[in-house]
């Protein structure tokens, strides 16, 4: 947790040095769904796992010009059940850039970010370990004006993240998971 907070503090602190005079900030709360999360178990008697993940999170965006902003977001997911007693819970963190096409009531944007996936591996309710893997996010979305500083967020992004190997196998296969992630939430601009 200290690592997450340190990254957020460094990112937000460094963003302050390159802000434009008329910059705006944006706090975001959201619900996300990763459409397909796959884990290669490496066990011939156990099929590969493929399921969707649901979760929520928060983010912050800071404009650096009229078209560009820096963003940070963190999502927490309920977990993928790998067996009756074995569970893996990912936390995704991204930092990146957004390019905006602003309108009077609707803003469109494209985004790309780099970050990491933190996997908490559990068995029988006890934590077995934690694994960190690289993650990438790319896509776009829209923010629809609701009222003074309040926007509805709808976003579709591609998600590529490293997947940890199943811990029950010697020299287990790891790999990459590529999926589509849907996000909906509320953005508050100030």
pLDDT single digits (tens) 48-60: 567 888 999 999 9
Q: If you average pLDDT over every residue of the chain, what do you get?
A: 83
Task: Tokens for 29, please give them.
Answer: 């709360």
Instruction: Give the residue numbers spanning the domain of 52.
Output: 2-189
20: pLDDT strictly greater than 50? no
Helix (H) or strand (E) holding 6: helix 2-15
Which CATH number is 39's domain given?
Answer: 2.40.160.20
Q: Return the closest-CA partner of residue 107 out of 96, 116, 95, 98.
A: 98
Question: How many CB atoms are located within 10 Å of the residue 23 CB?
Answer: 15
The domain total for the chain is 1
pLDDT tier, 3 (very low <50, low <70, confident <90, very high otherwise): low
12: pLDDT strictly greater than 70? no
| pLDDT single digits (tens) 135-187 | 999 999 999 999 999 999 999 999 999 887 655 544 555 678 889 999 999 99
Classify 17 as helix, strand or coil: helix
């Amino acid at each position: 947790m200290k690592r997450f907070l340190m990254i957020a503090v460094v990112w937000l602190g460094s963003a302050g040095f390159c802000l434009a005079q008329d910059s705006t900030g944006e706090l975001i709360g959201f619900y996300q769904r990763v459409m397909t999360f796959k884990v290669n178990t490496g066990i011939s008697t156990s099929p590969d796992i493929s399921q969707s993940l649901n979760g929520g999170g928060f983010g912050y965006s800071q404009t650096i010009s009229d078209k560009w902003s820096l963003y940070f977001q963190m999502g927490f997911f309920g977990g993928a059940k790998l067996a009756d007693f074995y569970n893996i819970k990912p936390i995704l963190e991204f930092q990146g850039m957004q390019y905006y096409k602003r309108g009077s009531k609707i803003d469109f944007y494209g985004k790309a970010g780099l970050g990491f996936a933190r996997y908490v591996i559990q068995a029988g309710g006890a934590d077995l370990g934690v694994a960190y893997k690289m993650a990438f996010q790319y896509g776009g979305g829209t923010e629809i004006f609701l009222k003074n500083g309040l926007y509805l967020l709808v976003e579709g992004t591609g998600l590529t993240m490293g997947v940890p190997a199943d811990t029950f196998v010697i020299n287990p296969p790891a790999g990459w998971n590529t999926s589509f992630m849907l996000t909906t939430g509320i953005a508050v601009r100030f």
